[in-house]
Structure 1
Amino acid sequence: MVVSADVPAATMRKVTLRLVPFLGLLYFINYLDRVNIGFAAPNGMKVDLGLTETAFGFASGIFFLGYLVLEVPSNLALHKFGARRWIARILLSWGIVATAMAFVPNATVLYILRFALGVAEAGFFPGILLYLTYWFPQHQRARIVALFMTAVPISTALGATVSSLILEYGDGVFGLSGWRFMFLVEGLPAVGLAFVTWFYLTDRPEKAGWLAPAERQWLADELAAEQAKLEKAEHWTVRRALTHPRVLGLALVYGGIVYGLYALGFFLPTIIKGFQEQYGTDFSVVERGLINAVPYVIGAVVMVWWARHGDRTAERAWHVALPAGIGGLAIPVTLYLGNPFAAMVAVTVCAVGVLAALPTFWALPSTFLSGAAAAGGIALINSIGNISGFAAPYVTGWLKDATGTQRAGLWVVGACMVAAAGGVLALQRRARAS
């Protein structure tokens, strides 16, 4: 089939504009519902429910145990039944649980609902990553994943401000305290978007009525040729993808990177509030939310630029290792600095490092996995890696209770990120040697 020269560019422009903003919106809501407990904690929730730092860390992290249990089955189900149906189901489930968080009566029910939220969300993030491989050729994926993942810093930056405003001005609405009203307001959008997703998403390029016939055919042929090339180079079954040392190694690398992401996500609001005692500052709830947003705004810009650079150079491992290593070295010094401005510079460097490493990391599995093997492998990497989502808040909270300071927890964050940087380079050398 002869393809006009302008068909590829026009096709990818349509696909990007159709899918990436919508998927980014879903991830924005997803990530906000996952980490908004970090804003609730220092603004009444810990006092109302009688939570210690360790108990709060456990409540934050138990989400990921539920996530771990069902991640791989959920992604295989998405591959089998189609993204439109499965992602809509996930949205509806997590929206109901996230909304129920507004009415939690005690710590025990909080633990149960956080676990249930993980079960409900299982498969969403790796499912979106898998879905993107159905629509975007490999040489564009780091950039596309970066555009999609800007929802993380945006949800933390904008979400910090929105959550702070809800906390401050929603107190007493419907008879709820501010943190309960925040859970209610931020949980309901997922329920509504479940119905939008059912009608808006298209499972595969072949079914995309919003593309011209020539565009549909070109994209389907391009992706089919890419998958055939991968399968010809090395055949991967689902079983092999779930047990191979290369996949397991990537899971450990991912765990080291997201350890930093979730430690910051859950505890940065508490660290900023602690500036009052450490430096004698006096910030309002809204001002703390705006300060919390700064590292993520800068991180969003750097993340997209760095991913584009990785796609342009076709280099992956160093584009993961360099930012992860720099971010890991920066974070432990945060609480040793003499003023809040210098401390926030160090936090920002860490946040930029984490965010810059993630999109290019997710371009790595699709360089050797496709089809059902990609569904299982990507889910396994995300599932095992997100054990850090449990460990980071729990260990950070436990160390704070044990030592009376955040310093020990941030040293662990730095060590995990530096180890991840070394790990991805070691995997690259091994892959080249084999």
Structure 2
Amino acid sequence: MSTKNEVFKSEAAHLEEAAFSAGYVPGTDAERKLVRRIDMRLLPMLWVMYILNYLDRTNIGNAKVAGMQTDLKLTSNDYATALSVFFVGYLLNEIPSNLVLTRSRPSIFLPCIMLLWGSITIAFMGIHDLGALIAVRFILGCIEAGFFPGVMFLMSCWYKPFEMGKRMALFYTASLMAGAFGGVLGGAITSGMEGVGGVRGWHWLFGIEGIATVVVASLAFFVLPDFPHNTKFLTGEERALAVLRLVTAEGSKPRLSHKEAFMSAVKNWHTWLLTVSYMGISGSGTISYFFPTLMLSLGYTGTMANYMTAPIYAAALVVSVCVGYSSDHFNEKPFHVLGATIIAGISFIITATVPNDAVKYTFILFGGCGIWSAVPLCLSYCLANFKNNETRAVAIAIINGLGNTASIYGAYIWPANSAPSFTLGFACTTAFVLFGGICTVINRFCVGDLSLRTQAQDDEDEEARNAHQKGAEGKAVHDDAASV
């Protein structure tokens, strides 16, 4: 086995030497082929994983209306506590999870997380009281905490900043697909499996979706790549190109310890400005929890109220991908975020002030498109602000973790007694989304245009690539000498 590894390493070194000796020229056919290969290996798997991630955290809502609230004798406050405790665990474990990811293999770490949360979802079948519900929801939050920021960190290790916009948008469409069809799937399972084997339908909902998660997690072990320097599905030459095209002066510095990375992210005030920005945009997204309620206020009843939410998600899916492609084409994100938030804000103002129900529905749809275009763009812009891998892992965990606290306070801005106008909800949502967009642009003016680096930065990055190239060539020569 050791001889085989030595032969493999020697062959890889020769391929790396050939790649580095030619120098790095951006936009070559070889690089485009490499990026396409990465896309096909990485994005579909992550997309499916995120659909199940979203379903497993939100299926409690489907279970509630399918009999869970009655069976567990839950009050409104009990249910709100069960919802909120998930995000407590989520917030507490995001930073530790991402720090572990920087020192581990994503092809093992992310599927293991998925395997654990799938098993915990299956464990919901054994819940028969409020205490168990709260405990399992808390554990589920702790486990799921590492997935979304871990995916963002992994993608940032494979793609350049101007390649991230459309890919983050494509990845984020998984949550829109889950939102559009999760209710239909939940209804089909809870009604079709009601009483089978003497088990309630809402118990089967958790069991079936949990089993699906475990199956996909098992496949992910064999599909997901690791980091560019150690992934197995690329040739040595492709690995060399994947590493070299992302080498920067900052990224080539020695790795930070966990403590150093944490302090670096915490002391960087951009972390906190971007956190506030994402909290605003994410906070406006809590309107999605109340789409069925809003449909009822527009005169739709029963199942039709749920069905009428699907076009909103479908439209948001298309628009968010188009906006993501535009941001990459123009190599610009902050103003795209601002534009999307302005569209959302204006749409909700019109919704709250115009009496016509058809107009209200149309602008709720426009508002949803604005929010869900801004969310993935905001996150990909956040990634571009931190060059060092370890610092970026901590910063994105802070931003995403605190941003998700919006799901706690956002649930209280849509009180039932404000129907049918829901003035408080639309006013807060408008304020949240516009505030988030403005903060993103403030950060843009503070750090400058990230797509137009200064000549000094370009020179430093080029020097880093040259140093990396010389190091690879020296290693190849040393290996040749050793073999002789």
TM-score (norm 2): 0.79
1:2-401 matches, within 5 Å, as 2=22, 5-225=28-248, 228=251, 237-264=261-288, 266-272=289-295, 274-275=296-297, 279=299, 281-284=300-303, 287-331=304-348, 334=351, 338=355, 341-369=358-386, 370-393=388-411, 395-396=412-413, 399-400=415-416
Equivalent residue for 2:444? 428
Give the Cα separation in 2 of the matches to 1:381 and 1:220: 27
TM-superposed CA distance for 1:80, in Å, is 0.9
Shift in alpha-carbon separation, 1:200–1:250, aligned structure 2, 3 A: same
Give the Cα separation in 1 of the matches to 2:208 and 2:406: 28
In the alignment, structure 2 segments of 5+ residues that lack a partner are: 1-20, 255-259, 450-484
TM-superposed CA distance for 1:149, in Å, is 1.2
Give the Cα separation in 2 of the matches to 1:178 and 1:316: 44
Shift in alpha-carbon separation, 1:288–1:186, aligned structure 2, 3 A: farther
Q: Check whether the contact 1:68–1:383 (CA below 8 A) recurs between aligned residues.
A: yes
Equivalent residue for 2:257? none
Give the Cα separation in 2 of the matches to 1:161 and 1:336: 31
Equivalent residue for 2:12? none
Shift in alpha-carbon separation, 1:49–1:237, aligned structure 2, 3 A: closer
Equivalent residue for 2:16? none
Equivalent residue for 1:415? 431
Secondary structure of 2:98 counterpart: helix
- Between 1:64-73 and 1:216-225, the stretch displaced more is 216-225
Letter of the 1:305 counterpart: C
TM-superposed CA distance for 1:432, in Å, is 3.8
Shift in alpha-carbon separation, 1:228–1:21, aligned structure 2, 3 A: same
TM-superposed CA distance for 1:200, in Å, is 2.3
Q: Check whether the contact 1:332–1:413 (CA below 8 A) recurs between aligned residues.
A: no
Letter of the 2:393 counterpart: A
Q: Check whether the contact 1:57–1:396 (CA below 8 A) recurs between aligned residues.
A: no
TM-superposed CA distance for 1:45, in Å, is 3.2
Letter of the 1:414 counterpart: T
In the alignment, structure 1 segments of 5+ residues that lack a partner are: none
Give the Cα separation in 1 of the matches to 2:448 and 2:77: 43
Give the Cα separation in 1 of the matches to 2:385 and 2:192: 50
Secondary structure of 2:234 counterpart: coil
Deviation string, structure 1 residues 142-182 (Cα, Å, up to 9, x no partner)? 11111111111111113232223223323223333333322
Shift in alpha-carbon separation, 1:365–1:251, aligned structure 2, 3 A: same
TM-superposed CA distance for 1:353, in Å, is 1.2
Shift in alpha-carbon separation, 1:429–1:225, aligned structure 2, 3 A: closer
Q: Check whether the contact 2:45–2:223 (CA below 8 A) recurs between aligned residues.
A: no
Larger radius of gyration: 2
Q: Check whether the contact 1:130–1:374 (CA below 8 A) recurs between aligned residues.
A: yes
Give the Cα separation in 2 of the matches to 1:240 and 1:41: 43
Q: Check whether the contact 1:42–1:270 (CA below 8 A) recurs between aligned residues.
A: no
Shift in alpha-carbon separation, 1:228–1:139, aligned structure 2, 3 A: same
Secondary structure of 2:246 counterpart: helix
Q: Check whether the contact 2:261–2:394 (CA below 8 A) recurs between aligned residues.
A: no
- Between 1:179-188 and 1:67-76, the stretch displaced more is 179-188
TM-superposed CA distance for 1:132, in Å, is 0.5
Secondary structure of 2:245 counterpart: helix
Shift in alpha-carbon separation, 1:326–1:56, aligned structure 2, 3 A: farther
Deviation string, structure 1 residues 104-126 (Cα, Å, up to 9, x no partner)? 32333322222221111111100
TM-score (norm 1): 0.88
Q: Check whether the contact 2:344–2:370 (CA below 8 A) recurs between aligned residues.
A: yes
Deviation string, structure 1 residues 53-101 (Cα, Å, up to 9, x no partner)? 4443332232111100111011000111121222122112211222222
Secondary structure of 1:62 counterpart: helix
Secondary structure of 1:205 counterpart: coil
Shift in alpha-carbon separation, 1:249–1:169, aligned structure 2, 3 A: same
Q: How many residues were matched structurally?
A: 419
Shift in alpha-carbon separation, 1:76–1:330, aligned structure 2, 3 A: same
Q: Check whether the contact 2:45–2:224 (CA below 8 A) recurs between aligned residues.
A: no
Give the Cα separation in 2 of the matches to 1:53 and 1:314: 46
Shift in alpha-carbon separation, 1:176–1:409, aligned structure 2, 3 A: farther
Give the Cα separation in 2 of the matches to 1:141 and 1:71: 21
Letter of the 1:371 counterpart: N
Letter of the 1:423 counterpart: C
Secondary structure of 1:81 counterpart: coil
Equivalent residue for 2:6? none
Q: Check whether the contact 1:141–1:363 (CA below 8 A) recurs between aligned residues.
A: yes
Letter of the 2:46 counterpart: L
Give the Cα separation in 2 of the matches to 1:355 and 1:230: 36
Q: Which has the higher helix share?
A: 1
TM-superposed CA distance for 1:203, in Å, is 1.1
Deviation string, structure 1 residues 307-365 (Cα, Å, up to 9, x no partner)? 11111112221111221232234336657665654443232122211110122212222
Letter of the 2:379 counterpart: W
Give the Cα separation in 1 of the matches to 2:334 and 2:370: 14
TM-superposed CA distance for 1:189, in Å, is 1.9
